[in-house]
Amino acid sequence: MAKNIISRSKDYSQWYIDIVKEANLADHSPVRGSMVIKPNGYALWENMQAVLDRMFKETGHQNAYFPLFIPKSFLSKEAKHVEGFAKECAVVTHSRLIATEDGVEVDPDSKLEEELIVRPTSETIIWDTYRGWIQSHRDLPLLINQWANVVRWEMRTRLFLRTMEFLWQEGHTAHATSEEAIEETEKMLEVYRVFAEEYMAVPVITGIKTESERFAGAENTYCIEALMQDGKALQAGTSHFLGQNFAKAFDVTFQDKDGKLKHVWATSWGVSTRLIGGLIMTHSDDDGLVLPPKLAPNQVVCVPIYKTDEEKTLVYDYINTFVAALRKAGIRVRTDFRDQYKPGWKFAQHEVEGVPLRIAVGPRDVANAVVELARRDTKTKVSMPIEGLTEVIQNLLVTIQNDLFETAKKRRSEMTSVVESYDEFKKVLDKKGGFIYAHWDGTPETEAKIKEETKATIRCLPLENPYKEPGVCIISGKPSKERVLFARAY
């Protein structure tokens, strides 16, 4: 266990905080509830962003940017939307400051005629804009994505998982028919699933949210749900079918092929820097961060070991010969040639920061034309010939990626239960946690009762449900169409 990281079994919440700090991912800022993302954390977000951006563009989407500030009146145009976000909004009321003897204060004469909302999400400002962009069926579908920051006034915050300001992407699309919009919603959910499982190595369950858990202003919310090591769920991404709610609120219409004027159909979808929190809690251990190779800022780190200047030159030259080949093959390699730190310190730091593979080279390795390879996930070491090293490392990175996914999938399976009664539900929840499949009668009253009494929520109605058989609700005894997925969640 790393010196400054508490064990998961002792205090999981503090373990998470320690990982973020010791792996140099983020720091608290002077603004309560906001974070400073450090270079290690931002490099990880950049890699996530690059993959997702490519996937969005491959599915026909384009990037644009919309204002940070939203007129207050816009939020009142869609009733459910304003109700859902009203308590989380930061409001700008004045436009300037004035100097005083004590510093500065708000100029009372600069009060805005209409207050501005710092965006908690961009549906309203985007749909007001779309009204001018969409006139005809020829303008559809409109497939736009935005990379941005948003502000939601959270009272209880935790770095990456829940902060007042965070980074994300939000897709907003317009379609001629409901069928096209639903297809888009499901398509983007699949993009998120593929990203989570194939790049983050995080297994997820896709499903539909209940009405009470639905995005404010949506007709249906689709989600991907992941399970963390402590048995709590994490909503890792959402895709919303908005129907015509925002189109009607902002009067966005188009002329169809028959010349009739119709309102468009809409979707929105997004993931955020919360994914970094999910990555940490899925793979990391008591020694620090563990990263999947596909997203790791550095996939390989090379650490030289030497005593004399002559040995230093020998080892550096040797490392440079194979590093060039690794980089040419597209492998992200860091050479840690910092003289001020000893090899042991470097080993420990790169372990904490989650670099998937470490290469150590000393004079004896040079003489024998070998290197020492160490895996971060299994902590196994092996001596390898320098000949064919590139291919070996390429294969090892694939193996690590797959092993991390299979480990997480196995853990999820072990932490998934099927229960028949409410008593069993509560016992499993308190003793084991994890995902629980149970029957529910479909009413918001029963859902609310379970949440109030156990702090567990319905994470989703799984799209691919292994327990789809009908039964009776664990509380009311009324008929249930299928089991749904429960868990306590972040």
Local confidence pLDDT in tens for the 490 residues of the chain? 578 999 999 999 999 999 999 999 999 999 999 999 999 999 999 999 999 999 999 999 999 999 999 999 999 898 788 788 989 999 999 999 999 998 999 999 999 999 999 999 999 999 999 999 999 999 999 999 999 999 999 888 899 999 999 999 999 999 999 999 999 999 999 999 999 999 999 999 999 999 999 999 999 999 999 999 999 999 999 999 999 999 999 999 999 999 999 999 999 999 999 999 999 999 999 999 999 999 999 999 999 999 999 999 999 999 999 999 999 999 999 999 999 999 999 999 999 999 999 999 999 999 999 999 999 999 999 999 999 999 999 999 999 999 999 999 999 999 999 999 999 999 999 999 999 999 999 999 999 999 999 999 999 999 999 999 999 999 999 999 999 999 999 9
From residue 352, alpha-carbon distances to 3, 33, 355, 391, 393 in Å are 10, 25, 8, 26, 21
pLDDT of residue 82: 79
Beta bridge partners of residue 436, listed in sequence order: 417, 486
From residue 365, alpha-carbon distances to 304, 313, 333, 356 in Å are 10, 14, 19, 21
29 φψ region: left (φ > 0), alpha (ψ -120 to 50), beta (else) = beta
- Tell me 440's DSSP state: -
- Tell me 213's DSSP state: G
CA-closest candidate to residue 440, choices 452, 432, 448: 448
From residue 449, alpha-carbon distances to 152, 303, 437, 455, 489 in Å are 27, 56, 17, 9, 16
pLDDT of residue 350: 98
Q: What are phi and psi of 124, to 5 degrees?
A: -65, -50
Tokens 């040995």 belong to residue: 311
CB 357 within 8 A of CB 375: yes
CB 165 within 8 A of CB 21: no
CB 198 within 8 A of CB 220: no
pLDDT of residue 1: 57
Q: What are phi and psi of 398, to 5 degrees?
A: -65, -45
Q: Round to whole Å and give the CA distance between 19 and 6.
A: 9
Q: Domains in the chain, ordered, with CATH?
A: 12-66+130-283 (3.30.930.10), 300-395 (3.40.50.800), 416-487 (3.30.110.30)
CB 487 within 8 A of CB 435: yes
Beta bridge partners of residue 418, listed in sequence order: 437
CB 171 within 8 A of CB 252: no
pLDDT of residue 20: 98
What is the CA angle 102-103-107, rounded to 5? 105
Sign of CA dihedral 254, 126, 175, 152: negative
pLDDT of residue 80: 85
Q: Round to whole Å and give the CA distance between 296 and 301.
A: 11
Q: Can you point out the beta strands (E) in 101-211?
A: 103-106, 111-118, 142-151, 165-175, 204-208
CB 108 within 8 A of CB 244: no
Beta bridge partners of residue 333, listed in sequence order: 300
Tokens 């919309």 belong to residue: 66
Q: What's the residue count for the chain?
A: 490
From residue 390, alpha-carbon distances to 334, 340, 355 in Å are 15, 29, 17
CB 441 within 8 A of CB 434: no
What count of other Cβ atoms lies within 10 Å of the Cβ of residue 448?
A: 12
DSSP labels for 277-329? HHHHHHH-BTTB----TTT-S-SEEEEE--SSHHHHHHHHHHHHHHHHHHHHT
